[in-house]
Amino acid sequence: MKNLAIFDLDNTLINTDSDHSWPQYLMKKGVVDIAYTQAQNDKFYRDYQQGCLNIDEFLKFHLAPLSRFSQAELAQMHREFTAEFIEPHISDMAKQLVASHREAGDELLVISSTNEFIITPICHLFGIHHIIGTQLETDAQGNYTGNYIGTPSLKEGKITRLNEWLAARGETLASYGKTYFYSDSKNDLPLLCLVDEPVAVNPDEVLQAEALAKGWAILHFR
């Protein structure tokens, strides 16, 4: 029976936060108001770290700039973003972890609260093609509207989205021999507590304490 290896993305497979980095890229490119964007970006990142992020307010801020550009423009911008803000923060250890699960024949899945536009090309760098991120609404021309659809994949939302993904495949977690989940954040404790093999990667203080108390594996990718 095949195993399922689930990975968080930000500060887990990559040693940075792509959600926080994207506005930094937009500021550097000069396409957003720097003072406003910097203040909001830092506020929402602190809220996330403290476990009190208002996901609706954050997504309204974060997705608005996407509606100003075509898909072709965004694809080019993402390539620039990835080269400067993401690729330097991918460790060999993270690559080796993914490779070890692939070589074992495990199904590979990323679940991230970051939106699907940002995470999909990054996941492809790891050769991962099963990807769950916050879903984005598009208009008749296929361009982003600045709104999201469905359940954001944050906290318990990751379980909701995972179950939807499994159901679409005619599966449940019981369809797999063993389930793994790798994450850095206390925000992911609901899903970490659900799988057979929870692993804390670069954990925050709360997750570190929980992992030590429960005897979970702890990894540090740098």
Amino acid letter at 88? P
Q: Is 188 a catalytic residue?
A: no
- Active-site position among 8, 17, 19, 106: 8
- Active-site position among 10, 19, 106, 204: 10
What proportions of the chain, in percent to the nearest 5, are helix, strand and coil? Answer: 55, 20, 30
- Cβ atoms of 117 and 74 within 8 Å: the answer is yes
Closest CA to 202 of 185, 214, 190, 189: 185
Closest CA to 187 of 51, 58, 7, 53: 51
Q: Is 10 a catalytic residue?
A: yes
Q: Rounded to whole angstroms, how far apart are CA atoms 162 and 192?
A: 12
Q: How many CB atoms lie within 10 A of CB 35?
A: 9
Which two three-digit tokens encode residue 166?
């499994």
Q: How many CB atoms lie within 10 A of CB 166?
A: 17
Q: Rounded to whole angstroms, how far apart are CA atoms 134 and 152?
A: 5
- Cβ atoms of 206 and 221 within 8 Å: the answer is no
Mind telling me the catalytic residues?
8, 10
